[in-house]
Amino acid sequence: MAVGARELRFLLAHLNDSVTLAESSLAAELLDLAGADPQTRAAAIRNLLLECIEFLRPARLGPFRSPEARPYHVLWLRYVEGLTVSQVSEELALSERQTHRELRRAEAKLARILSERLADRSRANSHPGEQGSISPWQVESKASQLDLLALITKASSTVAPLARKLKVMVLIEPTFPEIKLVCDEGILHLLLIQALSLAIQRTRSGKVLIQAEQDAAGTRILLRFQSEGSARWPLAPLQRLAAAVEMSLEVENDPEGATIIALKLAHGERRTVLVVEDDPGAALLYRRYLETAGNWQVVSVAEPRQALELAKLTKPAAIILDLLMPEVDGWSVLTLLRSDAATAGIPVIVCSVFSDPLLAQALGVSAYLRKPISQPQLLHALRQCCR
């Protein structure tokens, strides 16, 4: 779907109007949002627009009023902060006429970026995963260190009115272990609230017990209660959300007949990703995407001729490779990597403005992403090839 300038301006002008965004023509085109509630549709469109604006952010934090920073700042000031054109011109020290010109140029760039994102999204929907698998939603993720007991206490307080209404006791196990996690606080909190709500509504004993256990493989959060074993569990939305941030959510039955909603978080050491990219803006974006997601650390190199030796040295879990680089192109780097026994088995994700996935597949590429790339796209590709 190609987005025109007029439609883009309409969407940007209603960036904080959830009703208008949810009912827009763009929402109707996003097949992966079919069946989602209006608030979810609106949030997805808003996040998509903000993500595309973020792509225009200058890589190096130069002067606020520098020409290379204008596309980003003029869009941000006008549509995100909601300033008038006159106020934007004052902020950027431009005439109003020039501000209008800069705004139109920036909108044209943004429309191209948005159209490319939508085309990629459409292609992804045309080639869904295997039948029966849970496809993760594309969710922006930002990891931080959390105290699990504090987060569970907070989630329990949120569902307390529902528990009182249904006369259900929500109990935290007295010997709850002290557990620290690195994950997205907002997503885990939401998963806990929704799982607790489901348990409260399905228990027939009037009690839900929250437990946790941790071993070398990871952490399991358990909601234990008595329920009718034949009940169908509406878990698909929660499972998709959990999968998007490398968690899983299942319903189990223990030998004593209790039902358990189990939320599992795998542990693991931070994995290294080698980024071979001569554009400092793209390299910085990938670093921001990965290092805020939790279990990734980034090593980047702008000189493609250094990629092979650096890959041998760092032994990365995956390599992100650009194609268009000076003197040595990405295909040549890929050939070198594949011809050396020490690096032949490392998954390579090509990220490029060019589109040639068949060639990439023939040369042993694990994933092919077309720029501009979102954080969910990159994380999903890494999770798929680093299993």
**Same domain, yes or no: 172 and 245:** yes
265, 218 Cβ separation under 8 angstroms: yes
Look at residue 341 in the predicted model and tell me its pLDDT: 94
* Cα–Cα–Cα angle for 36, 162, 35, rounded to 5 degrees: 5
Of 206, 232, 266, the position where a domain reaches its end is 266
33, 27 Cβ separation under 8 angstroms: yes
Q: Report yes or no on 240 lying in a domain.
A: yes
Look at residue 308 in the predicted model and tell me its pLDDT: 93
End-to-end CA distance of the chain: 33
CATH number at residue 369: 3.40.50.2300
Look at residue 120 in the predicted model and tell me its pLDDT: 67
**Same domain, yes or no: 290 and 326:** yes
**Same domain, yes or no: 276 and 262:** no
Q: Report yes or no on 132 lying in a domain.
A: no
Count structural domains, the chain: 3
Is the whole model's pTM more than 0.75, yes or no? no
**Same domain, yes or no: 281 and 335:** yes
Q: Report yes or no on 261 lying in a domain.
A: yes
pLDDT tens, N- to C-terminus, the chain (387 residues)? 678 888 888 999 988 888 888 888 887 777 566 666 777 778 778 878 887 887 777 644 456 677 878 888 899 889 888 889 999 999 889 999 999 999 999 999 898 888 887 776 666 555 444 334 455 555 666 667 789 999 999 999 999 999 999 999 999 999 999 988 877 888 899 999 999 999 999 999 999 999 999 887 789 999 999 986 555 677 877 887 887 677 889 888 888 889 999 999 876 567 889 999 988 888 888 888 887 766 788 898 999 999 999 999 889 999 999 998 878 899 999 999 999 999 999 999 999 888 787 888 888 899 998 877 888 788 888 878 876
Q: Report yes or no on 139 lying in a domain.
A: no
Q: Report yes or no on 380 lying in a domain.
A: yes
**Same domain, yes or no: 9 and 118:** yes
| Domain of 325, in residue numbers | 271-385
**Same domain, yes or no: 235 and 291:** no
Of 266, 292, 311, the position where a domain reaches its end is 266
HSE value, Cβ hemisphere, 13 Å, CA-based, for 98: 9
**Same domain, yes or no: 37 and 105:** yes
**Same domain, yes or no: 180 and 261:** yes
Q: Report yes or no on 57 lying in a domain.
A: yes
CATH number at residue 155: 3.30.565.10
Buried b (16+ CB within 10 A) or exposed e, 135-157: bbbbbbbebeebebbebbeebbe
* Other beta carbons within 10 Å of 123: 12
Name the nearest CA neighbour of 266 among 368, 135, 100, 386: 386
Look at residue 100 in the predicted model and tell me its pLDDT: 93
Of 211, 244, 266, the position where a domain reaches its end is 266
Q: Report yes or no on 134 lying in a domain.
A: no
**Same domain, yes or no: 378 and 288:** yes
SS (H, E, C) the chain: CCCCHHHHHHHHHCCCCHHHHHCCHHHHHCHHHCCCCHHHHHHHHHHHHHHHHHHCCCCCCCCCCCHHHHHHHHHHHHHHCCCCHHHHHHHHCCCHHHHHHHHHHHHHHHHHHHHHHHHHHHHHHHCCCCCCCCCCCCCCCCCEEEEHHHHHHHHHHHHHHHHHHCCCEEEECCCCCCCEEEECHHHHHHHHHHHHHHHHHHCCCCEEEEEEEEECCEEEEEEEECCCCCCCCCCHHHHHHHHHCCEEEEEEECCCCCEEEEEEEECCCCEEEEEECCCHHHHHHHHHHHHCCCCEEEEEECCHHHHHHHHHHHCCCEEEECCCCCCCCHHHHHHHHHHCCCCCCCCEEEEECCCCHHHHHHCCCCEEEECCCCHHHHHHHHHHHCC
Q: Report yes or no on 31 lying in a domain.
A: yes
**Same domain, yes or no: 52 and 116:** yes
**Same domain, yes or no: 330 and 353:** yes
**The two three-digit tokens of residue 68, written as one number:** 């290379």
**Same domain, yes or no: 292 and 248:** no
